[in-house]
Amino acid sequence: MAAGSDDAQEAVVFGTGSGARRSGSRDGGSASGGGQGGELEGRQPYDYYLVFDVEATCEAERNSKYPHEIIEFPVVVMTGEGEILESPRFHTYLKPTTNPILSEFCTELTGITQDQVDAGMGFEEMLHALDAWLDDNEFFTAAKPTVFACDGPWDVRDFVAGECKRKRVEFPWYMRSWVDIRHTYHRHYRNGARRLNGMLEAIGMEFEGREPSGMDDAINIARLASAIIRDGGSLAVNRVVDRRRALDDDQVSRVLFYSYDFATISDFAADELIAAHPAHAPRLQAFRVARAAAAKATHLAKTRKQQARRNAKRKRGKHKKHG
Ligand code: AMP
Ligand code: MG
């Protein structure tokens, strides 16, 4: 979580806290189960949450220009009911190329050794392996609505997207929109807790394992997510990167249909999608409602800000006249 600051993100499209609410048991196991009348009652927006946490090369002196390279990439699967699965899991170490020798600080911080990264994959190779793993397990398909999730904006926005940009590797389409669990947590509990262990402790849990470590962090983030579900929260998409770039048709159907990322398409296209996939209409409709609410909230906030600016300007003008 070291790279970048939290406030530069492109964010927050779908309402967290509105939309899906857990109310007792799920209303059906299949992807097309859905609630009635556009509601997501009794279930999370996704059936599978791929919770991940990267470790990256680093130095003791923090420097926002430092080209972090991912050296560990673990993914833990949590179901929409909050169950953390032992398998399947994805886990690999990676060999950095810009700074191939790990600093002592980095090994101490992450517990990752030079031998582990020397035997690791390249970054692009890892993304291919991840693709294959997603396909093998049928994630991001109609049968398994899936979304990635992690703690804060950094892992996707800075580590994955940053390395893709520097190494001219295509950014993975399935990470365009994701669930920032820290953001959801703060909306839900409003307790001001900081860091992963602090967030766990504030709700009566303890970090299990070594912190920070990719796999242990991922498991503990999944535990946090599971607690949010248990406590009635909704794990909806709340972050989007790379919104301006157009997706190709295949990506559109997989991201928009299987991940329900409505942030990027027009209402007309959303209508088309809903008409083409009636079995998924309730979920898709619910996302539309959440999106409309989020857009309205953004618009209201913007209007208020503009009004406040105008008022301040008027006030300054008055002072000048009198002074
Ligand atoms: P975390 O999200 O805490 O697992 O950290 C992810 C990555 O951020 C680490 O692998 C480091 O590359 C970097 N990082 C975390 N904490 C620090 C720190 N105190 N100083 C420098 N880099 C850090
Ligand atoms: Mg970590």
> For the residues of 194-237, what is the DSSP string, one character each?
-HHHHHHHHTT----S-SS-HHHHHHHHHHHHHHHHHTT-----
Using an 8 Å Cβ cutoff, are 245 and 23 in contact? no
Give the atom of ligand 1 at the shortest distance from the alpha carbon of 71. 10
Which mutation among 51, 63, 109, 116 tests ligand 1's pocket best, with the greatest number of atoms within 8 A of CB?
A: 109
Q: What is the pLDDT of residue 173?
A: 80
pLDDT band for 14, please (50, 70, 90 cuts).
very low
Give the atom of ligand 1 at the shortest distance from the alpha carbon of 213. 4
d(CA 52, CA 255): 18
d(CA 316, CA 41): 50
Q: What is the pLDDT of residue 3?
A: 39
Query: What pTM was computed for the model?
Result: 0.74
Task: Give mean pLDDT, residues 194-209.
Answer: 97
Instruction: Please tell me the distance between residue 54's alpha carbon and the centre of ligand 2 in angstroms.
Output: 6
- Examine the pLDDT at 133 and tell me if it is beyond 90: yes
Instruction: Please tell me the distance between residue 2's alpha carbon and the centre of ligand 1 in angstroms.
Output: 5
Residue the block writes with tokens 């990676």: 94
Tell me the average pLDDT of the chain. Answer: 79
- Examine the pLDDT at 159 and tell me if it is beyond 60: yes
pLDDT band for 22, please (50, 70, 90 cuts).
very low
Using an 8 Å Cβ cutoff, are 200 and 206 in contact? yes
Task: Give mean pLDDT, residues 112-133.
Answer: 97
Residue 176 or residue 306, greater confidence:
306
> Over the stretch 36-66, which tens digit does the pLDDT of each residue have?
223 344 578 788 999 999 999 999 998 889 9
Q: What is the pLDDT of residue 297?
A: 74
Q: What is the pLDDT of residue 284?
A: 67
